[in-house]
Amino acid sequence: MSVGEKEEMGGRPADRGRLDKRRAIVEAALRVFAQVGYAQASLDVIAAEAGVSKPTIYNHLGSKERLFRYVLTETAARSHAKTLDVLTGFPTDPGRLRPALEDLAAKLVDCYCDEQSEAVRRLLYAEAVRFPDLFDAVRASGPDQFTEALAGRLARLANAGHLRIGDPVRAANQFIALVYDELPGMSALGTRPLDPAEVAEVVTAGVDTFLRAFGTGKAPDAPGAAASGASGGVSG
């Protein structure tokens, strides 16, 4: 449970007001940090963006460093919760494996390409030298947990004979890479809008390649499959 969720449970008007201010500060701080970076961001600008006073930021979240850490961990936690929800529709019917995986991949990409998620990702990489512990903590509590959860579901399909996978964690990482890793370059790390048709092509091609690698037989025809140039499968 996140800090914000704990506070929200209070339900009293005073608690609600504090929660609303904190959220306003967090959202404003993320926008400012994403626009100018950690070093150039100032609490004065963040306070003005949030519509609060500078002492209010200190009262809620303390120094700029503490604010930065809180903003990234809290935003990443919310994004992680949304991403895990994607797995509720994980395919179990081998007859619909391809369309179900394409639907899963499309929803996953939507989460990863969310404006706030992209902003957190850019900031984590930009400030990895300054805050290596923060980089590791956010990765461990978000993307790494999702990869483990996805690996578990892929392992179930493999155990049921629907996929051929030797290392589920590696297969999960490869699935994510196949359906997402082209997109940061296409969007200039989330700073340019993506063409939905191009995103759909990446997702379809990624799922096709994944099934050619890990499928148990000939993958059903899919848009772009013939152009992929891959055939057969290999065990993970």
Q: What is the mean pLDDT of residues 132-145?
A: 89
Q: How far is CA 95 from CA 79, 99, 174, in A?
A: 31, 9, 22
Q: What is the mean pLDDT of the chain?
A: 86
Q: Provide mean pLDDT across the span 184-207.
A: 94
Query: Where do runs of H (alpha helix) occur along 9-96?
Result: 13-40, 43-50, 54-61, 64-85
Q: Is the pLDDT of residue 82 over 70?
A: yes
* Residue of 176, 161, 166, 167 lying closest to 216 (CA atoms): 161
| pLDDT above 80: residue 12 | no
Q: What one-character DSSP code corresponds to residue 182?
A: T
201-234 pLDDT, tens per residue? Answer: 999 999 999 999 999 874 444 444 433 333 333 3
The Cα–Cα gap between 190 and 212 comes to 29
DSSP structure class, residue 230: -
Expressed in angstroms, the distance from the first to the final Cα of the chain is: 35
DSSP string across 115-177 = HHHHHHHHHHHHTTTT-HHHHHHHHHHTHHHHHHHHHHHHHHHHHTTSB--S-HHHHHHHHHH
Altogether, the residues listed in the chain come to a count of 236
Averaged pLDDT, 50-67: 94
Structure tokens at 87: 């797995």
Torsion of CA 189, 194, 200, 201, to 10 degrees: -80
More confident residue, 70 or 142: 70
What pLDDT sits at residue 196?
95
